[in-house]
Amino acid sequence: MKAYERLLNYVKVWTTSDEESGTKPSAQREFDLARLLVEEMKALGIEDARVDDKCYVYGTLPASQGLEEKPALGLIAHLDTAPDFSGKDVKPMIWENYSGEALTLPGGITLTPEMFPELARLKGRTLITSDGTTLLGADDKAGVAEIMTAAECLINEKIPHGKICIAFTPDEEIGGGAEDLDLAAFGAAFAYTVDGGAENEIEYENFNAARADFEICGRSVHTGEAKNRMINAALTACEINGMLPAAEIPACTEEREGFYHMTSISGTVESAKLSYIIRDHSAEHFEARMETLRLIEKIMNEKYGSGTVKLTTKEQYRNMLEKIRPHMHLIENVREVMKGLGMSAEERPVRGGTDGARLSFRGLPCPNLGTGGYAFHGPYEHITAEGMDTVVRLILGIVNKYAE
């Protein structure tokens, strides 16, 4: 079966994760795809395929005879789709011999090369989209499909390989995908997530990340008697935001430029709350950003009184580069395989995080490969059958490198 054919089946399974649920997995519907994959893996001959109580799918291809001493290679993708846009009742559309020009989907939205420049390069391919009323779900069901197709090739074509460890994780889109992966049960020495964009991407550098919340306690006094007495918490929240550099926001930054991103603001005279995510590739710049927030808390409390402003921060993930550097064979081998496939590797820092970053800090070095998809997390999402085929060949090439 072709990778895109698997994708067409998988995207019809509703697996949107739920950040508010507080359960593991965050949505029981993720088990629907997990169980389907276990059945499919067993049908392929992966005898130990299983799903645990937290919706992590595991399966192993034992090493070919004579290759038992080769390092165990892991392949990982995630089951859930992003809660940013509806992932229910996805109706995938196939556009054969795509023209490379503007394309209007049945839901009324139009993909244009001006908005998505890669569309011109995809001319002549088999383009896959949703109907425009939902996201497609190629993030990351394309990665799942590509790993499954590569596994089928290894088995059916009897391609020699070392031990291959497969895992499909829940809740990646809400930051929980790497938390409960049982590394001992998984069994890999190192791994790749297949969860990126263009098929020639290799990502091994990502943001350092934290969440920050300012809670503001105001003082409500009758407006007629408010002078030198009232502390308007909502206005204080605006004042706090005004102390941050106006240009250091996602809409004004790119590449390795970090930012402060306000995710929510709410408030009255009596109380208010500001929530931010903080991002920077540089550990030193990241710490400077966190220090800026602490300084703002100090200044506000000196101005309005102790306890007026409370800052709470939580580290979310760190830049995987420091954990990949000692294992640059992971990157060098991908470069070599891509070169052999006539591809030019695109290496750029991820302006976000990946399960691979968290896994790298848990002791499993894990860079990220592309899936061939674009415009994730919304109705403009698109991918090509040919791009997915290329990723399958890339995976097989990497497997071969580690069997040499």
Residues annotated as catalytic are: 80, 172
Residue 155 and residue 396: Cα distance in Å, rounded?
12
Buried b / exposed e along 303-317 (16+ C-beta atoms within 10 A):
ebeeebbebeeeebb
Phi, psi of 239 (to 5 degrees): -65, -40
3-state secondary structure of 97: coil
Do the bridges between strand 259-267 and strand 271-280 make them parallel or antiparallel, or are there none, so unpaired?
antiparallel
Beta bridge partner(s), residue 111: 103
- 201 phi, psi to nearest 5 deg: -80, 140
Using an 8 Å Cβ cutoff, are 338 and 344 in contact? yes
- Could you give the residue ranges of the DSSP H alpha helices within 307-376? 321-324, 329-340, 355-361
For the beta sheet containing 127-129, the strands, ordered from the edge strand earlier in sequence to the opposite edge, are: 93-95, 127-129, 382-384, 373-374
372 Rama sector, left if φ>0, alpha if ψ -120 to 50, beta otherwise? left
Rg (CA), the chain: 24
E strands present in 190-230:
190-196, 202-203, 208-217
Three-state SS for 42-70 is HHHCCCCCEECCCCCEEEEECCCCCCCCC
- Work out the burial of residue 169: count CB atoms within 10 Å of its CB; fewer than 13 is exposed, 13-18 middle, 19 or more buried: buried
Of 309, 285, 290, nearest in space to 210 by CA = 290
**Gap between the Cα atoms of 173 and 118, Å rounded:** 24
Q: Which two tokens stand for residue 183?
A: 């590394």
CB atoms within 10 A of CB 101: 11
- Check: CB of residue 195 under 8 Å from CB of residue 371: yes
What are the Cα distances from residue 402, in Å, to 63, 194, 195, 222?
Answer: 11, 17, 21, 73
